Amino acid sequence: MIRKRVIARGEVQGVGFRYHARAQAQQLGLGGYARNRPDGSVELEIEGREASVLGMLHWLRTGPRYAVVTALEVSDIAATGESDFQITD
């Protein structure tokens, strides 16, 4: 299992980004969370099998229909064993 912290920048708030990310993460069997940040970005942590995490990173590069992702900052962090994906504030 691996875990990544991701900061998605661009038009990513007010377009359902977190909710679509949760649906995608659940479909891929990933744990973690998504939350809006005060600077207009969305922070996510995603954990699971490497292939699923890579699939999620691929999806995050474009996000849902009305999002415009201009940058993704991705860093490796320690896995926690989390298996549920939440939207937090």
For strands 68-77 and 2-11, give the pairing: antiparallel
Active site residues: 18, 36
